[in-house]
Structures are given as C-alpha cells and as structure tokens.
Amino acid sequence: MAFRSSTRWRFRQPSVIPGFGLALGVTLTWLTLIVLIPLSGLIWRSSGLGWSSFMALVLDERTVNALTISFGTAFIAAVVNLFFGVILAWVLVRYRFPGKRVIDAMVDLPFALPTAVAGIALTALYAPNGWIGSFLEPLGIKIAFTPAGIVVALVFVGLPFVVRTVQPVMEEIDKEVEEAAATLGANRYQTISRVLLPGLLPAGLTGFALAFARGVGEYGSVIFIAGNLPYVSEIAPLLIIIRLEEFNYPAATAIATVMLFLSFIMLLVINSIQAWSRRRYSNGA
Amino acid sequence: MEVRVQNIRKEFGRFPALDDVSLDIRSGELIALLGPSGSGKTTLLRLIAGLESPTDGTIFFGADDASKKSVQQRNIGFVFQHYALFRHMTVLDNVSFGLKVRPSSRRPPAAEIRRRATDLLELVQLSGLEKRYPAQLSGGQRQRVALARAMAVEPNVLLLDEPFGALDAQVRKELRKWLREIHDRTGHTTVFVTHDQEEALELADRVVVMSKGAIEQVGTPDDIYDHPVSPFVYGFIGQSNCINVTLSSGEIWFEDRPIGLRAANEPDGAATLYFRPHDIELIDGCGGCLAGLVTASRRVAGTRHLEIDLGRAHPPVEIELPPERASSTDHTRVAFRPTKWKLFRKEGDIAAAQPVEEPASQLARTGT
Ligand SMILES: Nc1ncnc2c1ncn2[C@@H]1O[C@H](COP(=O)(O)OP(=O)(O)OP(=O)(O)O)[C@@H](O)[C@H]1O
Ligand SMILES: [Mg+2]
C-alpha cells in the first residue's frame, strides 16, 4: 500500500476523461430527486415525533421482533445465496452441458416473475399438503408459515444477484493462474480456497449486499409463505402496512426510518470491505 | 534433473501440434526452444510440465515415467508468459505459496518459509518490495516475482514460456544476462521458450529449433548458426541468402555460368544454394563468381549491408562488408563468391536429397 499512503487524499483524482463536474452534477441531482427527497420526507415525518416517543415506537416488542425477523432472514438468505450462487456461477462458467443456456436464463426468472406469484407458488410447494411440504411434514420440518419459509422466499428472489455479479468476474479468471497453483504443488482444494475464492471476494460481497438489501425490503413473496404471525413470522415491511392501515402513521414512519438506517449502515460496511479488497488487487497481473 | 522426451505426439482435435518429438535434456543445462509462432514450443513445455497430456509417447524425469505423475507431483517450476501471479497476495506470499501448500509432513516451518522467500527475493533483486501487490509492480518486476515463485519449490526442472516476451528490448537484455547468472548460480535444469533467436543463441547451452510441430535441429548455438542442417534452420537463424543453381559435373552454375564452387560428389540437377551475407569474399575480375549491381546500401552498426541485384528473375541478395571495403564498391558492379555455403536439394531435384557442405579450404582450390 506504499503508494496510497504517499498520495494525499484529493477531492478529485486527475483523469484523462473530461466532464467530471457535469457528471457529478447530474449524479447528485438525480440521486436527490429519486432517492434523497423521498427518504428525507420520511425522516422529516419521524423527526416530528420527538425522540422519546420515537424510541417507544421502535422498541415496541412487536416492532423489534419484526425488524429482527426481517434482517435475520435476509442475512441468512444472503449467506445461502452467496454459497449456492457462487457454485451455480461456477458451474455455468466452467462446464458445458446440455441445457446450460436454459439454466442460465432461468437464473434471471426471479427478477422477472411478480413476487406475489413466486410467493404463492412457494407456499403451494412448501405448505404441509404441498409437493415438498408433504415430504417434510413427517420429518417434523415446517417451512411454510415459519421464518424458514421467509428464508426460502428470500433465497428465491435474491439468487440472481449473486450469480450475476460473480459470473463475469469468474469468466475473467485466467486459466494460467490455476495452472500456476497446480505447478507449485497446490491440490484442487487449495487452489480453490487460496487462489480462486479470494479473487472472487469483492464480487461475492457485492452480490451478497444486493441480495441482502433486496431481502430486507422484500414484501410480495414473503407475505404469502410467512404466515404473518406477530412476534414469530411477521416481517417489518408488513408491519408498516399494518400500521398504515390502522392510520397509525407515526409508528409506520418510525419503523421505516429504523429500517432505512440499519440498511444504510450495513450496506456502507459491506461496500467499504468490498472497496478495500478491490483496491488491493484491482487491475493487476 | 535429466528429462527425456520420447516420441511425443500431441493432437488437438485432429490437428497434430507436435509430431514424433524426441529430446534429451541434460541435468543442469539451460536449453532454449526456438521456433516461429505456432511451431509447438508452448505445447512441448506444457507436456513436460504435465499441464497437457500427450496423445502418444513418454516423458521421463530421470528414470521415472512422468506420465504417471500429476502436475503437482512432478515438482516443476513453470513461469508463464503473462506471469500468472496471484493478485490478491503480496509479493512475499506469492513466492512462499509453493512451500505453504505442501502437506504438513514436508512443509518447512513458517519462519523457514519466510527466510527462503526473502532470500529468493534478494536473488531476483526485489528486496524491499515484499509487501507490494502484483498490481503495484512493473512488468519486469512481475516477471522476476514469477521466477522467484517458481524457484521457491526447488523444482526438478524450471520451465519458462517466453519469459521476456512482454518486456521492452532494454529490460529484456538485462534480464537475459541476469537469468544466465541465476542459472549458473543455482544450477537448475532450465528449459525456456522463445521466438527471439538472439535470446536463444546468447543465453542457451543448447538450442532446439522447432518448426511445424517437429524438431528441426538440436545443437549448441555455434552448431545451429554455423552448421544448419535444413533450409528452414538456415533461413530462420540469422540472415541468409538463397539462390537457385544447377549442378553440372560437380560444378555449381548460376544461370549461364559457373560460380567457382564445386560440389564434387553431387549428381547433376537443380539445387538451392544458401550462404550468409557475411560469409563471402569480394573478387576482382570474375573468373567464376556471382556478380550484380548494387541497388541499396545500408550502414548497420559496424558493417555495411549491400543489396545486390543478380538479375531480374531473382530476388536480390544481401552481403555484408566492412565499411571501408564497401565504400570502394558503392553503386557499382560487384563480384563475390560465398566462402561458406550449403546446397539443399528438394525431392524432385534429384533422387539423393542429402545436403552437401564444402569446407572453406576446398573452395580455394576451385576459386578464381
Ligand atoms: N488448447 C489448444 N487447442 C487447440 N489447438 C491448440 C491448443 N494449444 C495449441 N494449439 C495449436 O497447436 C499449435 C502449436 O501451438 P503452441 O502454442 O505450442 O505454439 P508456440 O510455438 O508456443 O507459438 P507462439 O510462439 O505463438 O506461442 C498451434 O497451431 C496452436 O493453434
Ligand atoms: Mg507459445
């Protein structure tokens, strides 16, 4: 990192591409219109509550449970997606088999399918009398109408994020790097764990962050499979809707603000880790 | 370690990239695989490494049949043309990788690994850069990291694929000298691929000239340069001229006159005469010579190159002279005769196809 410490931080890095001022202006205006104004409206509304009533609303047991379930299931689903997404991307990049194109196209389906449809389909499958649920039932495993069902739905909607961010990076892995590891005596497992996976870390983290963010905000597919039992399988977005239907706007905005805040913090942390690892070995040989 | 390549054939699909190639690499020698693009140099190197498996034939490491060993078991050091460094690892980690992945029974202790990697980095003159990532190095530095990494496992054979291919001329020259020094110091059996003949001739103990998936000639740089065994080697290594001649009762004729060279035991018929631009003598008055008009003249370092038009039907030939000798002949007609030359005959020319070589001493008899 010798060169990084020797250059002072500068507002603008010199670049051969002109138009920095214009680009930054457009970016900020756009972000303001699309993201910042709606979100600040939210914060504005909740700030009218005053700190103590805000905290009371947030620390309400049902709210805390809903938030925990939302973030917890989204996190577990993102971890599952990271694991299987990387394997799936690997298979798509490295192997040739009949039907590969079809599978490749299927990965994007969760993007295209209305989430409610996905939710209903998953519920039908995992319900105690469904195709999969009827096999799990005798084993004492319940998926539908439990937090596990939420994870299943979030894994479904989040899958493409990991696959599609990791896949192009994997395609660029130089075959020679693996061969170099082999000539140095590394076995297959060592090559994967020490050479290939660390190289995929930044892309994997990006995919993880996207899948996680999507999972936190997901509504449509979850409400069908979750069962929506307060304190058990009720997600925060649903609780917001419930509060809105009760015309309890302060509570709705308070929950929304906390979600916003937590998501922002988590994404910021993930993005920093990712930027750090990317900076270490980008554009190298 | 000694490496023997025996009757290796390698096909990609139906295309033979190597066809019946045999080569003995002696322990401790520095050997160059030289040939034009697509001649199968990389393929041969990868076969030795075990990165590719032969369609036919065997490779021996010492007395062992290497075909039964995986890449990992062969214990070779391979330096890739584009380095193939691990970019998420520091220079030091790159170099120590081969030792760190050893099974614990054969793995040196961490401190020892570190010491060896540091020593190697010193050997390749990269001390002080241990903490850098490959992205923060110049091309020449990356190349040296790749070499240190390959040497860290104390390989039986060191294989280098165009090690200096991607570097500029100046750096190439330096690294070349330095590679020779390292080789002399460490004594690793080393095979390197190049398509730069200067590099091969300067660096290697022996040179393997390849063309179209076959070995044309193996020999010391002197052998290869002074006694090329085929028209291909003659044309590929160094400068050469070739002209179509005819043989008539042991005399070599160019067009309608003898040129004063004899090939005593050769049957009559057509042949091709090869000679190098600097292996000629100028002749005053032509009793049997090649002669033509000087059409161009270039000064190249210590010599002057003259381009000579032997007649419209022939491509011009080039000769080299000391500048002072050349200045007397500028833009005039010159007469000359090759002092070292070789005849090659195609299947169709005559039945006997073996090349003939006349020692220079015999030429004196037939000259003037
Ligand atoms: N994996 C492969 N699949 C198909 N054909 C290949 C493969 N590798 C090499 N070849 C072919 O084998 C021949 C020899 O290739 P090789 O890479 O050994 O050449 P080379 O002498 O190293 O050339 P260069 O100097 O350009 O690197 C070429 O015609 C090439 O197209
Ligand atoms: Mg090659």
Is residue B158 within a helix (H) or strand (E), and if so which, with residue range?
strand B157-161
CB contact under 8 A, A186 and B72: yes
Contact state of B51 with A182 under an 8 Å Cβ cutoff: yes
Inform me whether the C-beta atom of residue A273 falls under 8 Å from chain B C-beta atoms: no
Check: complex ipTM more than 0.90: no
Share of chain A above pLDDT 90, in %: 34
> CA B250, CA B305: separation in Å to the nearest integer?
31
pLDDT tens digits, A104-145: 999 998 888 898 899 999 999 998 888 888 888 888 888 888
Pull the structure tokens for residue B230.
């085929």
Domain A51-281 indexed as CATH 1.10.3720.10: yes
Tell me which residues of chain B have a pLDDT lower than 50.
Answer: 351-354, 359-368
Yes or no, beta carbons of A281 and B87 under 8 Å apart: yes
Pocket test for ligand 1, best of B8, B14, B15 (most atoms within 8 A of CB): B15
Note whether B69 and A185 are within 8 A (CB).
no
pLDDT band at A162 (very low <50, low <70, confident <90, very high): very high
pLDDT of B339: 87
Other beta carbons within 10 Å of A99: 8
Say how far apart CA A101 and CA B332 lie, in whole Å.
72
Q: How far is the CA of A94 from the centre of ligand 1 (A)?
A: 21
Ligand with the closest atom to the CA of B39: 1
Hunting for tokens 């930044």 — which residue is that? A202
pLDDT band at A13 (very low <50, low <70, confident <90, very high): low
Residue B162 Cα to ligand 2 middle (Å):
7
Q: SS3 of B163, please?
A: coil
pLDDT-derived band at A3, boundaries 50, 70, 90: very low
Q: Cβ–Cβ of B135/A199 closer than 8 Å?
A: no
Q: With contacts defined as CB-CB under 8 Å, which chain A residues touch B153?
A: 184-185
A21 to chain B, minimum CA–CA distance in Å? 29
Residue A10 pLDDT level (bands cut at 50, 70, 90): low
List the Cα angle B141/B142/B144 in 5-degree steps: 65
CB spacing of A285 vs B142 below 8 angstroms: yes
Chain B, 229-288: which have a CB under 8 Å from a chain A CB?
none
Q: What distance in Å separates residue B169's CA from the closest CA in chain A?
A: 20
Residues of A within 8 A of B98 (CB-CB) are 184-186
Q: Are A144 and A128 in contact (CB under 8 A)?
A: yes
Q: Which of A173, A184, A282 to mutate to probe the B interface, most B CBs <10 Å?
A: A184
HSE, side-chain direction, 13 A CA sphere, residue A201: 20
Q: State mean pLDDT over A195-205.
A: 87
Question: Interior CA angle at B164 toward B158 and B167, to 5°?
Answer: 155
Contact B61/A at CB under 8 A: no
pLDDT at residue A46, rounded to an integer: 82
| pLDDT tops 70 at residue A1 | no
Give the pLDDT of residue A158.
Answer: 92
CA-closest candidate to residue A137, choices A145, A128, A148: A128
Residue A284, pLDDT score = 41
Helix spans in chain A (H):
2-6, 20-31, 37-47, 51-58, 61-94, 100-106, 109-112, 115-126, 133-136, 147-171, 175-183, 188-190, 197-217, 220-226, 236-245, 249-281
Atom of ligand 1 nearest to the CA of B10: 12
Whether the CB-CB separation of B164 and B171 falls below 8 Å is answered with yes
Measured between CA atoms, how close is A19 to chain B, in angstroms? Answer: 27
Beta-carbon contacts of B173 under 8 Å, excluding residues fewer than 6 positions away, are none
**DSSP β-ladder status, B30-34 and B206-211:** parallel
Once rounded to an integer, what is the mean pLDDT over residues A79-84?
95
Query: In order of start, what are the domains of chain B with their CATH numbers?
Result: 3-232 (3.40.50.300), 239-362 (2.40.50.140)
Inter-chain residue contact B87 with A183, CB threshold 8 Å: no
Residues B262, B362: contact at Cβ < 8 Å? yes
What's the pLDDT band for A39 if we cut at 50, 70, 90?
confident
Q: How far apart are the first and last CA of chain A?
A: 16
